[in-house]
Chain A
Amino acid sequence: MTLEKCQIITHVQKSLAFTAYDVKWVPCSARFVVLGQHARGTGALQVFELNTGDIKLVHEAEKSDAFKCGTFGASALRSRHLATGDFAGRMSVWDLERTEMPTYTVKAHDQIINCIDGAGGVGCAKGPPEIATGSRDGAVKIWDVRQEEKPVAKIAPVEGDIVHDTWAVAFGNSFNDHERVVCAGYENGDVKMFDLRTMSLLWETNVKNGVCSLEFDRKDIQMNKLAVATLEASYNIYDLRTLHPEKGFAHVTQKAHDATTVWAVRHLPQNREIFLTSGGNGSLNLNKYTYPQQRSKKDAKGRDEGVAGTIEQINTASVAEQPVAAFDWSPDKQGLCVFAAFDQAVRVGIVTKLDQYR
C-alpha cells in the first residue's frame, strides 16, 4: 500500500456462520444487511449496526432458500424495504423490521436469480420504482411492486436460441420520469443495453469474458460512464456520452488483481470518478478515471465518436485470502464501506483521504 495516497483500512471484522453473497448499506442509517447461504442450504439475512468501533447484530432471519443478491435501489426513504433474489428464482421485498413475511414476492424466474438492481427509490429519485432481476435462465425481468405476478418488461432470448446466463444487471440514465436504461451482462461476455422507454435494444457488445459486475457511475443522471468487470482479471470503462453507429461506445480496458476474477466494481457515491474493484485474490483496488481533453471527436466520415479517458490506480489493499465477492459504499458517509469475502466474514472498511479528489 503506497503511503501518501488514500488508505484502505479494515475497521471491523466479524465472522459469520454462513457464506455471504451480498452486502448492502441501509440508506440513511448506520446499518447494513448481509445476505447469504447457510451450509444447510437455507437463506441467511442479517442486519448489523455500527456502534462505537464495533458492529452489532440487530436482526436476523433464516429463510428456506438461500439469498444471492439484494438491493435498496427501488425502495422509498420512508420504508427502505430490501428487494432480494434467491437461489430458487424468487424475488421478494422485505421490511427489515418484520421479516417473517415478505411485503411482495413473486416467482420471477425458474432458475437462480444471479443479480438484482433497483431504481426509482432512495438513491435515484426519478421515475417509477422498478427492480430488475437477471437469472441463469438468460432472462432479465423488470418488476414493479405495484403490479402483482407479471413483470413490467421481460427481456429474454428468442425461443430456440442458445441461452446465456445473466450475471449482472444495472439501471442507468434515469434522469427524468420517463427515461431509463437497463444494462445486462452475460456469462459469454455479452453486454446489452436496453432502453425501457422505447422498449428496444440500444447497444450491445461482447467483452470476450464473462461479465461479473456492471455499474453505471450514476443512476440518476444522463448516462455518463459504465464500468464492466469481467473474468480474467480485467475491467472496462465505457464513455456513454457519444454513440457511434458502428463502433458503439468508446472504452478503456484495464488489467488488475493478478489474473483473478474482478468480482465487483463500485463507484463512490460521493464522487463518480472514483471507483473500487474487488478481486479474486482478496484485494481491493481504488482507481480514478480521468476524462480526456475532448470527450468526442469526428471520425473519417464526419460522425461523432467518443474518446475514452484514462484509469489510474490510487491504491490497493489486500483485505482477505478469499475472493471479495460483495462490496458496497455507504451512501451517507464518504469512505465508509462494507465488504464480504468467501471466508464467511464481513468487514467494515474505511478509505481515508478521499477529500483530496473533490
Chain B
Amino acid sequence: MSAAAINIRKNAEDYKNYLSDLQSWESEIKAKDQAAKTAKPAQTPPVRQAASTAAPPLKQKPGAAGMVGVRTGTSIPITTREDSQPPAQDTDRALIEKEKGNAWFKKGDYERAVSCYTRSMQLDPSNAVLPVNRAMAYLKINKYEEAEADSTQGLKIDAKNVKALWRRGICRRELGKFAESKADFEKALVLEPTNKAVKDDLQKLVEKRARDAEALARPIRRRLEIEEVCDEDAKPIFMDVDSTRSISPLLTPAASRITSFAPKPAATPPQTATVPEVAAKVSPVKRAAPASPARTASPAPRRVITPISPANRTYTVPGTMYEFERDWKSVKRDPAVVYSYLKAIDPANYLKIFKNSLESDYLSTILAVLSTQARNHNDVSFARECMLALSRLPRFAMTAMFLSKTEKQTVRDLVAWMKAEAGAAAELDALLKAYDAQ
C-alpha cells in the first residue's frame, strides 16, 4: 500500500482512538466537575495596593535604566487607587503647562487652553491659579457649569482668591443663580473694595435680575369664560388659561381657537356672521358656568382643555383641502353647522379646495345635509349650485360610483324637490346623470 494510504488509515485510527478516549475522559471530567463545586475556597492574596516600596518605581524618562523599547510617542502614566506624592519637578512642569495654556488663551484657542490647564492641574493639584484659569477658559466657551465647578475648586485651595470669587459670580449669574452670584460678588468686593470689574459685574447682575423679574411679573392668570349658547347636553365649559412661560407655547394654539380670529383678507367679514345667525335661530340658552369659580380657586395652572361646543367656534372659509378637512372633523357632527359651513364656501372655490380629492364620505354627508337642511331652509338655488359644482369636480364620476343605493335615492329626491320648486328640468336631469342616479 502506498505511504499516503497507510497514513490515511493511521489517521483514521488515531481519530477513532481519540474519540473513545474522549468518551472516558468526559465521564471522568464530569465527576471532577461535581467535586470541584464542593471544593474548599482557596486563600487569595489581598487586593493589590499602590506601588510597593520593595523596588524603586521606574519612571518613564527616556534613557533611564530599565526603560527600553522603541519610543512610540504616546505616554501612558499608570495611576493607582492611591496616587503617589508628586515630586518637585512636577510643579515646574505644571507651570510650563500653565504658560502653554496662557499662550493658547491669548491666541483665542480656548479648547486647547483648557486641556493644557487640565494637564497642569493634574501635575500640581495644590496650585489655586490653575483651576481659576481653566474656569476663565470655560467661561469664554460658555461652559458655565464646568467654570463654576473649577472656580469652586480654586476657592477650596485658596478661599480668599478674588479672581475665583469673581468668576464664580459671573458663572452663577449666567446660570440664573442670582442670590449666590450676588453673594460672590459682594464677598469679592469685601476682599478687594477697589476692584472696578467686580463692581461692574455686580451692577450688571442687578440689572439682569430686574429684567427677569419684570418678565415674571406679567399677568399670570387669565380666565376666559365661555358662554354656552345652544346645545343643552354639552358639558359645562371653561378654561384656565395660564400664561406662565413654561406652558404658554402649549396653550397659544388652543387659546387662539376660542376667540374668533380675523378671517383671511380675501374673504369678506360676513362669512363669520352666519354662525351666530344660525345659533340665534335656535333658542339661546345662557349658562353662566356656575362650577367655574370653584375650579379657578385651584392654584396650580391646569391644562385641562374640555371639549368646546361647536356652536361657539367660528370658522374661516377654507381655502385648501387641509383647512377643509381640519374643520370638517369637528363640523360634521352637527348638520346645522355643516350646512352653514358649506354655505360659507363659494361653490366656485370647490375646484381649488377639493381638486381631485373629494372623497365619497364627504359627498355622502354633503348630500345628507343638503337633503335635510336645504329643504328646511328652502334654499333651492344653493343646493343646486352646490351639487352642480361638485359634479364638475375632476374624477367626480369615480366618486359617484361609490354612492350607495340609499344615497342615490337621496339624490333623486333632492332633484325632484328642486324640480318642483324651481323648474329647469333639463339641467337637473343632467345632474341626475352626473350622479349616476337615473
Contacts and interface: CB of A to CB of B under 8 A. Distances in A.
Interface of A: 3-4, 7, 9, 11, 28-31, 50-53, 76-78, 80, 120, 125, 127-130, 142, 144, 146-147, 150-162, 164, 177-178, 190, 192, 194-206, 243-248, 332-333, 335-336, 350, 352-353
Given A30-B26, A243-B68, A245-B65, 6 more contacts: A3-B7, A52-B26, A150-B81, A157-B76, A162-B74, A352-B14
A160 B57 contact: no
A120 B44 contact: yes
A143 to B, nearest CB: 10
A182 to B, nearest CB: 10
A248 B71 CA distance: 11
B46 A128 contact: yes
A76 B30 contact: no
A327 B279 CA distance: 83
B52 A332 contact: no
B280 to A, nearest CB: 63
B25 A128 contact: no
Interface string B78-91: 11110000000000
Given A3-B7, A178-B54, A335-B18, A77 B39 contact: yes
A28 B60 contact: no
B22 A199 contact: no
Contacts of B76: 155-158, 192, 194, 201
A144 B48 contact: yes
A339 to B, nearest CB: 17
Interface in B56-80: 56-60, 65-72, 74-80
Nearest to A203: B69
Interface stretch (B115-123, B150-158, B218-226, B408-416): B115-123
B2 to A, nearest CB: 11
A50 B26 contact: yes
Given A153-B79, A199-B51, A352-B18, A206 B11 contact: no
Nearest to A140: B76
B41 interface: yes
A278 B48 CA distance: 35
Given A199-B50, A200-B78, A350-B18, A30 B33 contact: yes
Contact of B80 (A127, A152, A195, A201): A152
Nearest to A159: B118
Given A199-B50, A203-B68, A350 B15 contact: yes
Given A77-B42, A152-B80, A205-B69, A197 B74 contact: no
A29 B39 CA distance: 14
A29 B33 contact: yes
A158 B77 contact: yes
A245 B81 CA distance: 30
B72 A190 contact: yes
Nearest to B8: A3
Nearest to A184: B76
A259 to B, nearest CB: 25
Contact of A194 (B32, B65, B75, B78): B78
A159 B117 CA distance: 11
B117 to A, nearest CB: 11
A150 B50 CA distance: 13
A198 B57 contact: yes
Contacts of A80: 36
B80 to A, nearest CB: 5
Given A78-B40, A158-B75, A353-B14, A205 B70 contact: yes
Interface in B2-43: 4, 7-8, 11, 14-15, 18-19, 22-23, 25-26, 29-30, 32-33, 36-42
A201 B78 contact: yes
B249 interface: no
B51 A197 contact: yes
Contacts of B79: 153-154, 156
Contacts of A147: 47
Contact of A248 (B25, B30, B45, B70): B70
Nearest to B79: A154
Interface in B291-340: none
Nearest to A156: B76
Interface in B115-135: 115-116, 118-119, 122
Contacts of B68: 203, 243-248
A179 to B, nearest CB: 10
Across the A-B interface, the 10 shortest Cβ-Cβ residue pairs: A3-B7, A29-B33, A199-B51, A200-B58, A160-B115, A248-B69, A204-B69, A128-B45, A352-B14, A177-B45
Given A29-B29, A144-B47, A156-B76, A178 B52 contact: yes
Contacts of A154: 78-80
Contacts of A53: 19
B273 interface: no
A155 B40 CA distance: 34
Contacts of B22: 50, 333, 336, 350
Contacts of B70: 204-206, 248
Contacts of B217: none
Contacts of A120: 44-45
A335 B25 CA distance: 12
A200 B57 contact: yes
Contacts of B60: 200-201
B55 interface: yes
5 contacts: A76-B44, A78-B38, A198-B56, A198-B57, A200-B57
Interface in B366-412: none
Interface in B230-271: none
